[in-house]
Amino acid sequence: MLLDDLYQLYLEHPTVSTDTRRLSPGCIFFALKGANFDGNRYARQALEAGAAYAVLDDPEQLIDERTLLVEDVLTSLQQLAAHHRRQLGTPILAITGTNGKTTTKELTAAVLSARYPILYTEGNLNNHIGVPLTLLRLGPEHQWAIIEMGASHPGDIAELCAIADPDYGLITNIGAAHLEGFGSLEGVRATKGELYDHIRAKGAQLFVNADDPMLLEMSAGVARHTYGTNSEAELRGEVLHEDGSLQLALRYRSGDYEGRLATQLVGDYNLPNVLAALAVGSYLGVPYAAMEEALARYAPSNSRSQLIETERGNRLIADAYNANPSSMHTALQNFLAIPQTPGQGRVLILGDMNELGAASKAAHHELLEEIRRAGQPLRLYLCGPCWMRELAAHPNPEVAAFAEVGELIQSLQATPISDSLVLIKGSNGIKLGSVLEHL
């Protein structure tokens, strides 16, 4: 089927679905394939559930004129999304980075929404399937779009840029993550840098952390608006240590505004995420007061930099959605820097850092050494099928190790934690977010 013909059908039925379990009546069902499933086999089920059409690449599964045959379903989905994006011409900001990209996306969406009707990536739909699905939600009512881009292999960001064709780009940072796919930190840098390459070739605009020498070097020669603690940044911020949540002072280099902002985020490591959102908003004309109000209202969720007070007297720093060596280091340093009140315990609940490949063993042992060097009395709970259990074999204060989160929950139920400051941090696959209700 030709792309133009498919696009005409999409304009008549402007909702797409890839999952028969969450299918909207009147949608177009795209029968994607994976390692353990073949969406072609669900075409009849999709049509019976109310789909207007089903796009297939297996001719044996054709049913009637409502089943549309293409060479490759995923390619057709991506081409349709790219074509739709070009037809609307909506300005797009792409955000990627090793740490903080989802939080930065959410904060930036909060800021821009204070002035503009916008579309932004929902949840973690930031890959070769999620980005096209997001773009196909784009409508003429949207004045801006924010597209989060994730990567685990070289070329991933270039592929997403070819689909979304962003006009603005922002890399939060570059660190050691997904090394199994990238092979090295240089591989991470090259892949994330594909966003800068796209913006450079397009002659478009970047937002760059002025405190990051690597990003400044990579963005040289491209139009950029900067933020950071550096006095040379267009937008400058500094942390005010007044309570557990992040508060900051702001100053614009132009001298036209100075202010203070109290957020509901926890951790100094969120400072560049907040500044990035403010830099984008100020550049795009959102009033300062509206930006600050939006960020003050923003409440993190889904175990991303949440500060939670519990009935047992615990203060939880829930940051269990993702973990890699750089994010684990910053979370640990922030945790150790929080003043301890009299009688308050200090507890670390840490999970495996996944997808580090050959660097896994060294990264986890370095984490253990960092905890040892802290020299603070800690209760340590380690959870994961691989590396965290190995760490527990080494001498450490009050260590408990668990192969999976169910065992950890049983321990917390048997011996509850109370009156403690608790950091919960690990890769999402460990599912440490499920322990929150037991603290």
User: Residue 366: how many CB atoms within 10 A of its CB?
Assistant: 14
Strands (E) located in 149-233: 168-171, 205-209, 223-228
Angstrom distance (rounded) from CA 330 to CA 322: 13
Angstrom distance (rounded) from CA 351 to CA 29: 37
Angstrom distance (rounded) from CA 27 to CA 25: 6
How far out from the chain centre does Cα 322 lie?
9
pLDDT tens for the chain, 439 residues long, are 899 999 999 999 999 999 998 899 999 999 999 888 899 999 999 999 999 999 999 999 999 999 999 999 999 999 999 999 999 999 999 999 988 899 999 999 999 999 999 999 998 899 999 999 999 999 999 999 999 999 888 899 999 999 999 999 999 998 755 455 555 667 778 888 999 999 999 999 999 999 999 999 999 999 999 999 988 899 999 998 766 688 999 998 777 778 889 998 888 889 999 999 999 999 999 999 999 999 999 988 766 667 788 888 898 888 877 778 877 888 888 888 887 778 788 899 998 888 777 778 788 888 888 887 877 778 888 888 877 666 665 555 457 888 889 999 999 999 999 999 899 988 888 888 888 889 8
Q: Map tokens 């030709």 to a residue.
A: 2
Supply the DSSP symbol for 155. Answer: T
Q: Which two tokens stand for residue 41?
A: 């086999």
Q: Which two tokens stand for residue 241?
A: 């240590």
Domains and CATH numbers, the chain: 3-71 (3.40.1390.10), 89-297 (3.40.1190.10), 306-438 (3.90.190.20)
- The residue type of 283 is Y
How large is the angle between the packed helices 73-88 and 156-164, nearest 10 degrees? 50
- The residue type of 212 is D
Q: Which two tokens stand for residue 71?
A: 């060479």
pLDDT in tens, 125-147: 999 999 999 999 999 999 999 99
SS (H, E, C) 338-364: CCCCCCCEEEEEEECCCCCHHHHHHHH
In the beta sheet, which residues pair with residue 345?
Answer: 420
pLDDT in tens, 255-295: 777 888 999 888 888 999 999 999 999 999 999 999 999 99
